[in-house]
C-alpha cells in the first residue's frame, strides 16, 4: 500500500503546506464534534434547522402536488409545445445532473490526485451528488408522458417481445444516469460505514445503537477490514473517475447526436463535463457556507477549503467561457449557414436575454475570484456561487430552447413560454433536494470522521491521559 | 443425545468463556510498534482495531494483499459481456420463440456487431456498474459483513476503538495464547490488559429475525408465481389497460358518422370553389384544360398528346406502366397480366379479359386522348387511375402504350431505313 499512502507525502511539503484543519484538534474532539450532531437533542438543534426543514418540506409537498396534477392532466400543463417539445423538464434534468458531478469528482478524482483537503468536504459533497441525481431522475421520468410505463426504459422481458432501442442516446442516458446514481450511492455508503460504527459505539440509547448499528453492518475497525475497505475505496475511486466524465458526456449526446443546428456539435461532451463540475462546485460552496456555520464545522471546513473550491470554480468558469467562444468561432468558421444562424440567433435573437444572463453569470462574475480578498469573502463567494448556478441553469435553457425554437424551416419556428406549473415544479425540486440534505446533515456524519483522522498529524492528534 | 439437550435454555445463564486478550494504545505509532512485536512473536489469530486506516499497519501485521482487485476485474468483464450479449440479443436477433429479441433497423445502421460503436456507451456503463458492485459487495463479503455479533462489543473499553483508541486483540484459541497476556502487558499500552469474554450462545441470530428473513424470502416469490401462472392461463377477456387513452382516443376515424355537423359525417368536404394544387396550370383563356382532360373544348378526344415525346418521358411512362398497369395488361400489353392469368385459372365467371393494348388494332387506331381518358376515368369494367397518377404521368403512359403498339402492329417498311436494316439483321 505504500504507493497509495497519502501520509507518506514528503516531509518537505509540510513546511509550506498549511495544516488542513483550524485550531487544536485531536481524535476525540473530532469524533465528538462530528458524531455529536446526530446525537443532538431537540433543544440542542438550532432553530434555523427547524425553520429550514419546514420550508423544504413544504416545497417538497408542492413538488408532489405538481406531479400529481401533471399525471392527472397530462404534459399539456407545461409550456412544452411545438416546436420546443423539450422545455423546462429537460433543462432541469441537465441542471441537476450537472450539479451532481461535484461530489464524485471530489471523492474520486481528488482522491486519486492525493488532494488531502477533500476529506473535510467529500462526505457532504457526495451526499449532495446523490440528492441532486435524485432530483434529476424525476424529470425525464415525469417527462415521458405516460410515466406509468416508464419501466419500458429498461430491458425487462415482456409478453410483447418489446425491447429498448440500444442505438439511441436517450437510452444511453438511462444506463449512464442509473449507473452513476448507483455507484455514487454505494461509494457514499461504503465510505460512511466506519463512521456509522463510531456513532453506534458512542450511542447512549438502545434505539440509536440499534439503528446506526444496523447500517454500520457490524463494522469493528479491524485492520484486516480496513485493508479491504481501502482497496475497495481506491477501486471505486478509479471506477468513478471515468464514470463521472462519461455521465455528462452521455447527457450531452442527447443533444449532440441530433441534427438540430446548435446541438449538433462535437464540443459538447467536454463542454458539458466542465460545466457540470463548475456548477457542482458552486453548489458545494453555497451549501458548505451555511452548513459549517449552523453545525459548527468551521474548524473542519476552513477558509482554505472554501478558497480551494473557489479556485476550481474560477478554472472551470474559464473552461466554460472558452467553450462558449469556441462554439461561436466554429459556427462562423464552419461556414454552415444553419449553424451560423443558430448562434447569431442565440447571441442576438429573441432569447439573447437568456444568452447574456448565462454568459455574465458563468464567465464574467466568476472572474472576480482572481482576487484573493473576494475568494475569501463569505458573502461575496455566496453571491457568485448562486449566480453561477443561475447561469448554469440558463446555459441549459439556452441550449435546449433556442435551438428547438429555431430549426431549419422557418414555418416551424416558435417562442417557448413556460407555465406556472413549470416554475413551481422546478422550485419544488429544490424542496426535495433540501429536505434530503437537511435530514442528512442532522442525522448522518456530515464530515468523513475516519478520513479526517487519517490525515491528522499522528502524535498531535493522539488522546493521551484520561 | 436427547432433544432437550440440544435446545438452548433461555432462562439459564449462558456459560461465560475466555475469548481474547486486549491491550489498548493511545496513538497510531504506538500500535504499529506493538503490532510488529506481536507479529514477531508468531501469533496467528489476532487483529488490531483502529478508528481509521493506519498506514504502515498492514506491513507491521504482515497482512497479505486482498484478492479484491481480481474479483473486481472479473466483475467488470462480466459486465462487459453482459452488455454486449444484451444489446446483441435484444436488438439484433429475432425469432418465433418467447421473449425473442427484436431486430431493429434504425437509420441504416448495420444490424450486427459491426454496429459496435453505437453499443459502446452501454458497454462502458455496465462494465463500471458491475465492477463497482463487485468492489462494494465483494469487500463487504470478504470482511464478513454484515455481521450482527462480535464478542469484543461486550466490553465497554472496546467502544473507543472506533473513535480514539487503538486496540490489539489476540484470540484465546491462538496456539500461543498462553504467552499472550504477558506479551501484551509488556508492550506499554494504557491500563491493564483486558480479558474479553464471550458466551456460548450470544452469537446465535435472534429467532424472530431468522424467521422474519425466511418468510420475507418466501413471500417475495408470490408475485413471480402469480405472473407465471397468468402467463400460462388462457383468457378471453381483453388485456388490462391501466390508462386506456392510447387505444380509445377521443377522435373520429375517417368515414365515421358524427352528430356535430348537419350532414352527419365527421369528415369535412372542401369549401365550395376549392381547387387542388397545380390544377389551374394548364387552363387556357376559355377555362378549358385539354392537358388534364385529354379532350378538346368540344368534347372530342385529342388526336395527339399535348406534350413532347422525349426519351425521359418514355422512360417515365415505362416505369409508371410497370407499376400501375402491368398486373392486368401484362408487360407487353397483351392482356395477359398475372391478375388475369390467376382469374382465368380460378375460372372466375365475372372476369373480363383486360384489353390487348399492344395487339388490338382497334385501340391502335384510336386517338391518344382516348387512351388518356381510359386511364383517367376508367373504361367499362376498368377503374380509373386519375386520382393516383398526375396528368403528366398519364401522358407518359400513353406514350409507352404507343411504343408497345409500334413493337407489334407497325409495318416494318414504315420505319426509317437504318432501323429496318438493324431489325432485319443485316
List, for residues A19-44, the tens digit of each pLDDT value. 778 878 889 899 999 999 999 988 98
Residue B126 pLDDT: 97
Neighbours of A90 (CB within 10 A): 24
d(CA B160, CA B228): 53
User: How do strand B166-171 and strand B190-199 relate by DSSP bridges?
Assistant: unpaired
Identify how many contiguous H helices and E strands chain B contains and give both numbers: 16, 4
A312 pLDDT band, cuts 50/70/90, is very high
Instruction: Name the more confident of B60 and B5.
Output: B60
Average pLDDT for B207-227: 92
Which letter, b or e, does each residue of B104-131 get, where b requires 16 or more Cβ atoms within 10 Å of its Cβ?
A: beeeeeebeeebeebbebbbbbbbbbbb
Neighbours of A152 (CB within 10 A): 15
CATH number among 3.40.50.1110, 3.40.50.300, 1.20.1630.10, 3.40.50.720, domain A6-461: 1.20.1630.10
| pLDDT more than 90, % of chain A | 72
List, for residues B354-402, the tens digit of each pLDDT value. 999 888 889 888 889 999 999 999 999 999 998 899 889 999 999 999 9
B3 pLDDT band, cuts 50/70/90, is very low
Residues in B touching A221 (Cβ below 8 Å)? 49-51, 161-162
Q: Is the pLDDT of residue A87 over 50?
A: yes
Q: Is the pLDDT of residue A402 over 70?
A: yes
Q: Using CB atoms and an 8 Å cut-off, which of residues 19-58 of chain B contact chain A?
A: 26-30, 35, 47-58
Average pLDDT, chain A: 90
Q: Looking at residue A108, what DSSP letter applies?
A: I
d(CA A311, CA A305): 10
**CB–CB contacts below 8 A, A to B:** 220
Average pLDDT for B407-424: 83
Residue B213 pLDDT: 92
B228 pLDDT band, cuts 50/70/90, is confident
Residues in A touching B153 (Cβ below 8 Å)? 220
Q: Is the pLDDT of residue B214 over 80?
A: yes
* Contact assignment for A223 to B50 by CB distance below 8 Å: yes
* Contact assignment for A246 to B125 by CB distance below 8 Å: yes
> What are the two backbone dihedrals, phi and then psi, of residue B24, each rounded to the nearest 5 degrees?
-115, 140
Residue B70 touches chain A, beta carbons under 8 Å: no
- Chain B closest-CA separation from residue A361 CA (Å): 32
Residue A13 pLDDT: 52
Q: Looking at residue B151, what DSSP letter applies?
A: G
- Chain B closest-CA separation from residue A18 CA (Å): 22
Residue B242 pLDDT: 73
CA distances to A68, A429, B138 from A54, in Å:
21, 15, 40
d(CA A245, CA A253): 13
For chain A, the structural domain boundaries read: 6-461
* Contact assignment for A454 to B119 by CB distance below 8 Å: no
d(CA A321, CA A166): 34
d(CA A404, CA A427): 24
Residue B14 pLDDT: 66
Residue with cell 425473442: B100
Q: Is the pLDDT of residue A421 over 90?
A: yes
d(CA A353, CA A351): 5
DSSP string of B189-219, one letter each residue: -EEEEEEEEEESSTTSPPHHHHHHHHHHHHH
Q: Is A403 helix (H, G, I), strand (E, B) or coil?
A: helix
Q: Output the CA angle A129-A131-A134, nearest 5 degrees.
A: 110
Residues in A touching B90 (Cβ below 8 Å)? 155, 163-164, 166
List, for residues A220-278, the tens digit of each pLDDT value. 999 999 999 999 999 999 999 999 999 999 999 999 999 899 999 999 999 999 999 99
Instruction: Name the more confident of B117 and A255.
Output: A255
Q: Is the pLDDT of residue A1 over 50?
A: no
- Chain B closest-CA separation from residue A173 CA (Å): 9
- Chain A closest-CA separation from residue B178 CA (Å): 22
User: How do strand B190-199 and strand B16-25 relate by DSSP bridges?
Assistant: antiparallel
Residue B239 pLDDT: 77
Residue B369 touches chain A, beta carbons under 8 Å: no
Nearest CA to A191 out of A448, A452, A396, A12 is that of A448
List, for residues B343-367, the tens digit of each pLDDT value. 988 888 888 999 998 888 898 888 8
Task: Give the end-to-end CA distance of chain B in Å, rounded to a whole number.
Answer: 119
Q: Chain B: residue nearest A28 by CA?
A: B164
CA distances to A314, B29, B94, B158 from B166, in Å:
42, 10, 62, 9
d(CA B137, CA B290): 84
- Chain A closest-CA separation from residue B204 CA (Å): 15
Q: Is the pLDDT of residue B6 over 60?
A: no
Residue A79 pLDDT: 92
B276 pLDDT band, cuts 50/70/90, is confident
Residue B339 pLDDT: 92
ipTM: 0.92
d(CA A3, CA B55): 11
Q: Is the pLDDT of residue A12 over 90?
A: no
Amino acid at each position: 500500500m505504500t504507493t497509495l499512502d497519502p501520509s507518506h507525502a514528503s516531509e518537505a511539503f509540510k513546511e509550506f503546506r498549511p495544516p488542513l484543519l483550524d485550531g487544536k484538534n485531536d481524535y476525540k474532539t473530532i469524533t465528538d464534534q462530528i458524531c455529536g450532531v446526530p446525537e443532538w437533542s431537540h433543544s440542542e438543534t438550532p432553530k434555523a434547522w427547524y425553520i429550514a426543514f419546514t420550508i423544504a418540506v413544504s416545497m417538497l409537498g408542492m413538488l408532489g402536488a405538481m406531479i400529481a396534477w401533471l399525471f392527472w392532466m397530462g404534459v399539456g400543463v407545461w409550456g412544452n409545445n411545438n416546436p420546443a417539445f423539450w422545455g423546462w423538464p429537460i433543462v432541469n434534468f441537465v441542471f441537476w445532473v450537472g450539479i451532481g458531478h461535484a461530489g464524485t469528482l471530489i471523492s474520486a478524482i481528488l482522491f486519486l490526485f492525493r488532494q488531502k483537503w477533500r476529506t473535510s468536504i467529500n462526505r457532504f459533497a457526495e451526499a449532495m451528488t446523490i440528492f441532486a441525481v435524485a432530483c434529476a431522475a424525476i424529470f425525464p421520468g415525469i417527462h415521458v408522458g405516460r410515466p406509468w410505463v416508464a419501466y419500458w426504459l429498461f430491458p425487462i422481458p415482456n409478453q410483447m417481445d418489446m425491447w429498448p432501442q440500444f442505438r439511441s442516446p436517450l437510452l444511453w442516458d438511462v444506463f449512464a444516469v442509473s449507473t452513476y446514481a448507483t455507484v455514487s450511492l454505494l461509494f457514499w455508503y461504503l465510505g460512511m460505514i466506519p463512521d456509522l460504527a463510531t456513532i453506534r459505539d458512542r450511542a447512549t440509547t438502545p434505539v440509536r445503537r440499534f439503528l446506526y448499528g444496523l447500517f454500520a453492518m457490524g463494522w469493528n475497525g479491524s485492520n484486516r477490514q480496513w485493508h479491504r475497505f481501502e482497496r475497495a475505496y481506491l477501486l471505486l475511486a478509479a471506477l468513478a473517475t471515468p464514470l463521472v466524465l462519461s455521465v455528462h458526456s452521455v447527457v450531452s449526446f442527447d443533444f449532440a447526436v441530433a441534427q438540430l443546428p446548435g446541438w449538433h456539435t462535437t464540443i459538447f461532451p467536454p463542454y458539458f463535463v466542465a460545466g457540470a463540475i463548475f456548477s457542482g462546485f458552486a453548489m458545494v460552496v453555497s451549501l458548505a457556507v451555511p452548513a459549517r456555520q449552523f453545525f459548527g464545522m468551521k474548524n473542519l471546513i476552513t477558509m482554505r477549503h472554501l478558497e480551494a473550491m473557489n479556485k476550481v470554480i474560477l478554472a472551470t468558469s474559464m473552461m466554460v467561457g472558452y467553450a462558449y467562444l469556441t462554439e461561436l468561432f466554429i459556427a462562423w468558421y464552419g461556414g454552415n449557414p444553419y449553424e451560423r444562424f443558430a448562434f447569431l440567433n442565440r447571441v442576438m435573437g429573441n432569447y439573447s436575454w437568456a444568452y447574456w444572463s448565462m454568459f455574465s453569470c458563468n464567465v464574467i462574475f466568476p472572474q472576480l475570484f482572481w482576487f484573493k480578498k473576494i475568494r475569501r469573502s463569505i458573502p461575496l463567494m455566496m453571491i457568485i456561487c448562486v449566480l453561477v448556478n443561475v447561469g448554469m441553469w440558463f446555459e441549459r435553457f439556452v441550449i435546449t430552447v433556442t435551438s428547438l425554437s429555431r430549426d431549419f424551416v422557418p414555418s416551424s419556428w416558435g417562442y417557448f413560454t413556460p407555465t406556472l406549473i413549470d416554475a413551481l415544479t422546478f422550485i419544488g425540486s429544490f424542496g426535495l433536494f433540501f429536505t434530503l440534505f437537511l435530514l442528512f446533515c442532522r442525522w448522518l456524519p456530515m464530515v468523513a470522521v475516519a478520513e479526517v483522522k487519517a490525515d491528522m498529524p499522528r502524535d498531535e492528534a493522539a488522546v493521551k491521559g484520561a | 443425545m436427547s432433544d432437550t439437550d440440544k435446545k438452548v435454555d433461555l432462562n439459564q445463564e449462558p456459560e461465560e468463556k475466555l475469548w481474547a486478550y486486549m491491550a489498548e494504545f493511545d496513538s497510531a505509532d504506538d500500535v504499529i510498534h506493538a503490532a510488529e512485536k506481536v507479529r514477531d512473536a508468531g501469533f496467528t489469530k489476532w487483529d488490531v482495531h483502529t478508528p481509521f486506516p493506519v498506514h504502515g499497519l498492514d506491513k507491521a501485521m504482515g497482512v497479505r494483499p486482498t484478492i479484491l482487485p481480481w474479483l473486481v476485474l472479473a466483475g467488470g468483464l462480466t459486465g462487459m459481456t453482459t452488455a454486449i450479449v444484451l444489446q446483441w440479443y435484444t436488438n439484433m436477433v429475432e425469432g418465433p420463440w418467447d421473449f425473442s429479441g427484436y431486430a431493429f433497423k434504425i437509420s441504416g445502421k448495420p444490424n450486427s456487431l459491426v454496429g459496435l460503436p453505437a453499443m459502446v456507451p452501454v458497454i462502458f456503463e455496465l462494465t463500471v456498474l458491475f465492477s463497482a458492485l463487485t468492489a462494494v459487495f465483494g469487500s463487504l463479503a470478504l470482511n464478513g459483513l454484515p455481521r450482527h455479533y462480535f464478542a469484543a462489543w461486550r466490553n465497554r473499553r472496546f467502544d473507543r476503538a472506533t473513535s480514539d483508541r487503538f486496540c490489539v486483540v489476540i484470540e484465546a484459541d491462538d496456539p500461543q495464547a498462553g504467552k499472550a497476556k504477558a506479551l501484551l502487558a509488556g508492550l506499554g499500552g494504557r491500563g491493564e490488559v483486558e480479558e474479553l469474554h464471550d458466551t456460548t450462545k450470544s452469537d446465535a441470530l435472534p429467532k424472530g429475525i431468522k424467521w422474519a428473513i425466511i418468510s420475507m424470502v418466501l413471500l417475495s416469490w408470490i408475485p413471480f408465481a402469480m405472473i407465471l401462472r397468468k402467463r400460462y392461463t388462457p383468457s378471453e377477456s381483453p388485456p388490462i389497460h391501466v390508462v386506456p387513452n392510447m387505444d380509445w382516443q377521443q377522435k373520429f376515424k375517417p368515414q365515421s358518422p358524427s352528430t356535430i355537423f348537419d350532414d352527419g359525417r365527421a369528415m369535412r368536404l372542401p369549401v365550395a370553389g376549392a381547387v387542388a394544387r397545380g390544377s389551374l396550370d394548364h387552363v387556357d383563356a376559355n377555362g378549358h384544360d385539354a392537358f388534364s382532360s385529354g379532350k378538346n373544348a368540344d368534347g372530342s378526344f385529342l388526336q395527339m398528346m399535348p406534350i413532347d415525346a422525349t426519351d425521359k418521358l418514355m422512360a417515365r411512362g415505362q416505369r409508371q406502366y410497370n407499376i400501375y398497369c402491368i398486373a392486368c395488361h401484362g408487360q407487353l400489353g397483351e392482356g395477359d397480366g398475372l391478375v388475369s392469368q390467376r382469374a382465368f385459372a380460378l375460372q372466375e365467371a365475372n372476369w373480363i379479359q383486360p384489353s390487348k393494348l399492344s395487339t388490338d388494332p382497334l385501340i391502335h387506331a384510336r386517338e391518344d386522348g382516348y387512351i388518356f381518358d381510359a386511364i383517367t376515368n376508367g373504361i367499362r369494367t376498368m377503374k380509373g387511375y386519375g386520382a393516383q397518377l398526375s396528368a403528366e404521368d398519364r401522358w407518359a403512359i400513353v406514350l409507352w402504350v404507343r411504343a408497345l403498339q409500334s413493337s407489334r402492329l407497325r409495318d416494318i417498311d414504315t420505319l426509317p431505313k437504318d432501323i429496318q436494316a438493324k431489325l432485319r439483321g443485316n
